[in-house]
Each structure stands twice: as structure tokens, then as C-alpha cells.
Amino acid sequence: MGKVLIIEEDIQFINEIALGLRELGYEYIKVTNVNRLLEVALNADIELIIMDVKLSYNNLISDMNNGTFSNVPVVFVKSPDKEQENGANKVTLGHTIDNDRNFEIENLMARVQVTFGKRKSSQRNFQIGKNVNVDLKKQLVQIDGTEVELTRKEFDLLEVLVINPNVNMSREKIHELVWGDECSSDSRTVDVHIRKLRKKLHLEDYIITVYKMGYKLEM
């Protein structure tokens, strides 16, 4: 399991995040004093950073971009009951992922799992059935060796499914992982994209509808 660096000044909030990570089996380092960030985490093998969005205005971004954590993905979060700083959710850093404004620990943990899944599977090929191959690193999907063109969201949806094989996923969770806060949650959006994936890749027997819940990919 990877090690997660949590940078958050709110003690209660950082403990809630840590509890969620511990339940999933992830190791973590908690930093509540940003002045001790490099001292605490410099020699640690950090694979993901969870960081309060309001801290993005200090020198942390500069330190990270200058090499200390330049290749580490970052998930920005917002402490409960605190106003979002104007423009803070637009800060980018490497492979940054912005968390939904209506923050929930469950959603954060799902994003953590997806982020680690992407990193672990970035050099792996997946085979669905006998003839569908998915290369996450090259973002390439083939049927019997012939490339199939997918839209960005169709590929993102397929990626979520292949790195969570045989897992019952709700429509709400799929929407959160694929669309985030780009648009309001609508189960029909998920249904339409699932239908297109099934048709394009002939996966009617593999992308299974879970009654009154969502979908799963059987592999």
C-alpha cells in the first residue's frame, strides 16, 4: 500500500481523514504545521498528498513544484464549514485532482482508491472477455487488435470499471469519480455512457446492471 501525506491544520478533520485511510489499509503521515512539512515528510516515500485547499496560497506549491513532491498527485480538500477561497480550486500541480466542493470522507476515500489504482495500473494491460484489451498507459482500447475510438468520458468511465473489477458501484459513485463537480449528479448521464460503452465494445455480458444500484464490470 502507498503512503499518504495529509496536510491539514484542522485537527478533527485530519483525524477523520486518517481514520478513513486506516480503514482502507493505507499508511499515512499527518502534518498540521506546514512549517514542519519538509522536516516530517522529506525522507518518506509519499505516493499521494491530501491537502487543504486554503493552504495552496503559501509556499507549499512552490516547494512541491521545485522537486520535493513534483511527481506526486495531489487531492485538494476543503475543511467542513469553511468558505472556499476564490480560485483556490483552480490551482494545478502535476497530476492534481480537485475534490468536490460538497466534501465527504467517503468521496475522498473513493478518489484515493482511484488515484492509487491509476498509478498501480498505469503500465498494465487489461483484458475483458476474449478480445477487448485496455491499455491505461497509452489510453488505448482495442477489439481483436483494432483500435476503438472512445470519448474522454467514455474512457474515464471504462478506466473506473477496469480498476474496480467485480465491484458493485452505485450510479452516484460512478458519476462522482468520472465527472466530479463538472455537472450535477444525474443517473441518466451514467446510464447513457454505460450504454455507449456496451455497444462500442460489445460488453453487454460483462458490464452488468446491479438492480436498484448501478453497475459492475465482471472480469
Domain map (residue ranges) of the chain: 3-119, 122-217
Predicted confidence (pLDDT) per residue in 150-185, tens digit = 999 999 999 999 988 888 888 988 888 888 766 666
The CATH class for the domain spanning 122-217 reads: mainly alpha
Give the pLDDT of residue 143.
96
Q: What sign for the dihedral angle of Cα 215, 122, 135, 200?
A: positive
Q: Is the pLDDT of residue 147 over 90?
A: yes
Q: What 3-state DSSP class applies to 123?
A: coil
Q: Is the pLDDT of residue 208 over 70?
A: yes
The CATH class for the domain spanning 3-119 reads: alpha beta
Taking residues 86-95, what's their average pLDDT? 39
